[in-house]
Every structure is written in structure tokens, then in C-alpha cells.
Structure 1
């Protein structure tokens, strides 16, 4: 597992770590209307999965807004922002922030995504900040586990991975 800290203190990530070349594990999360969403729902598209601890915090807010802006420039790409925030809070935040190009999804119910992608923080029941790019054939083509949860991911590398994915 990658070493990750939260406010400079080491945390334990639960689940399997994902590497470039892996088949992307399917998962079930909840949309803002409480419907179940899976990775296979967007089969045939390139997926950028932006993982944030909580949409209501500064870095998570900026990360989601950045990918919302980038989404408008990309074709055949789904951007999924996943956190453990309740779906109701995600819906309220998106409405207030004018976010309409990314899909916010909740892993609150059972941490299915967090465990399958190795980003569930055992001590906090939050998700570690990470980026995964999955190509149209469900192969992972980019992975970034951000070493310090309070820091930004590498936006440029993630967007380049999306542009280079097939």
C-alpha cells in the first residue's frame, strides 16, 4: 500500500492498491438521488475518478471545480468525484457551486469503492485523496495516491492521462 499521511500523521489505507495496467474493479456507490451507480454504468467511456475526503473542504472544493472545468473540454469522458459525504450534502454543494460537468458520488454506505481501490482511511472513515484514470476497456491507465491528503493531486498529469487514454 502507498504511504499516506493526513495532516502529516500516517494513516492506514484499507483495501487493495491499484496499479497501472490493472483491470479496474467494479464498485457500487450512491448518486445524489440515492440510486446505485457502478463503474460498469459508464462502460465504453474513459473515466477520471477523482477521490476526495470531503467535498466541503478547501482542497476538495478546488479539485472538484478544476475537474468540472476540464470536463467541458473533454469528449467521451466521465468524471466521477467520489467521497464519503452523504448524497444530500453532495447535491446541496453541487447546486451551490454550479457543478454540472462531474458526477458526485457517495461511498458512505459501505466503503465499497474505498476498499476496492485502497483509499479507505481506517482511522477516519474517510477516503484518501487519489486520482484514477480508467480507459474505455476498463484498464487503469493512471494512478495517483496523493501522499499527503491535504495536498492537491497533479491535475496536469491526470488530464494528460485522460487525453492519451483510448
Structure 2
């Protein structure tokens, strides 16, 4: 069981923790245009899934910008997804303001489907815990990082390295 804190206070994560080697669980989130998006929508690609509590916070914004910058060098066989519980309209505003067109921002606000499937839904706050998942072309989990303190940055280099290993 993953142990996570938010501003040094322990929080309860809903759902089942995923580990390397697991089959990636399916989920349904919303695109910025309010269309349902599932894991199958990027089938056959390597997926880097960057999970943030809210794009409107400093660390979340920086995390998404970092992966947006990296996305262009990862190739066409890689899909970079950022998932938060922000409303799709707020995500679209952020993408436009930051010119972050290399990542797909997706909203889990409606059902917490992703949060519960990947064990990152924070019960006390109805936010998602900061985490990174890399899913291979066959829908297997290849890399996982549950960031222990939600306000801290993830290990960007390890996540990018995991993606590159799958695309060599």
C-alpha cells in the first residue's frame, strides 16, 4: 500500500495500487472538448501519464510544462497525457495560456475513474496524488512513481528514461 502525504499530512488513496508488470487498468476521463477518453484511445503507443492535483498550482504547472517540452523529442509512437481533476474548460485555458500543445490534458473530475483505477484518488481532498505512469504499447505498466509528498516534484529523468527504453 502506497503511503502519501499532502503538506506533510497523511492522506488516504482510493483504488488499487498498480505496479510494474501489471496490465494497465482501463479508465474513462474527459477531453477538453468533453469527449470520453479511455486507455484504448492511445492503443499501440507508449503512454507517459503525468498525474497532477491541479494545473493551477506551481508544481503541477511546472510538471506539465516539463513533459510538454520533452514530448516533442519522444517521437510519434509516444502519447503524453496529463490527468487532473480540473474541469476540462480550466485545462483548455491553461493549455492555451502556456502554449502546451504537445501533451493531452484530460479531466478525471466526473467519476475519478482514472484515480480509482490507478490508486491515486485522494479521499480527503477529491484530488489526484502526484504520480507518473509509463504504459507500453501492449498496455503493460513499465514504470510507476507515486510521489510520497504530493507537493514535491516527480523524478522527471527516470520517467523520460523509461519511455525512451520502450521506444529504442
TM-score, length basis structure 2: 0.98
Deviations 1:110-152 (A, max 9, x none): 1000000000000000000000000001000000000000000
Would you identify which runs of 4 or more consecutive aligned residues in structure 1 move more than 2 Å?
Answer: none
- What is the CA–CA distance in structure 2 between the aligned matches of 1:26 and 1:33, rounded to whole Å? 20
Unaligned runs of 5+ in 1: none
Aligned residues: CA RMSD: 0.5
- What is the CA–CA distance in structure 2 between the aligned matches of 1:165 and 1:122, rounded to whole Å? 33
1:165 shift after superposition: 1.5
* Partner SS state of residue 149, structure 1: coil
Unaligned runs of 5+ in 2: none
Instruction: Tell me what 1:32 maps to.
Output: 32
TM-score, length basis structure 1: 0.99
1:54 shift after superposition: 0.2
Question: How many residue pairs end up in the alignment?
Answer: 166
Instruction: Tell me what 2:51 maps to.
Output: 51
* Partner SS state of residue 96, structure 2: helix
